Amino acid sequence: MVNNQQQSAVAQKANCVRCSYGINGALLRHQVDLETWTAHYTGSGPDSKQQALADKEFFASRERSPKPVVLGLDKADHAVRYALDAGLIDAGWIEGLEVKDPSPDLRKALQGVSLIIYAGGVSYLSS
């Protein structure tokens, strides 16, 4: 598990499966419209670490209060790490649930989740 901050007892808890760079976390945790978001990225060209820092600053001034706790899950290491670095998710797991069961740490974190979001796929669903 990768962890950014302690979970707030006040906020709702959501799990974003295939967290896809924290896009859903950004939408849930921040007040930003599509026009402002698009303008932020127009002409951006920094490397990924610089972009994550720029995004963290951009979203920090737009946080909802209280903001929900968002857990990210993706098998793509770079997607989870970017979402954490940008402050778009609170904690993230780099796991491929298509091939193995969730880790004990992930199972524990999922307790109390009230919203599950699938970002870009439904391959985790099974009978």
Q: Give the pLDDT confidence of 54-73 residue by residue, as tens digits.
A: 899 999 999 988 889 999 99
Average pLDDT over residues 30-56: 81
Task: Provide the strand spans (E) within the chain.
Answer: 2-3, 13-17, 69-74, 91-94, 115-118
Q: According to the model, what pLDDT value does residue 50 have?
A: 85
- Domain locations along the chain: 2-118
Q: How confident is the model at residue 3 (pLDDT cuts 50, 70, 90)?
A: low
| Portion of the chain with pLDDT greater than 70, in percent | 82
Q: According to the model, what pLDDT value does residue 44 have?
A: 63
Task: Report the alpha-carbon distance of residue 35 to residue 6 in Å, rounded.
Answer: 31
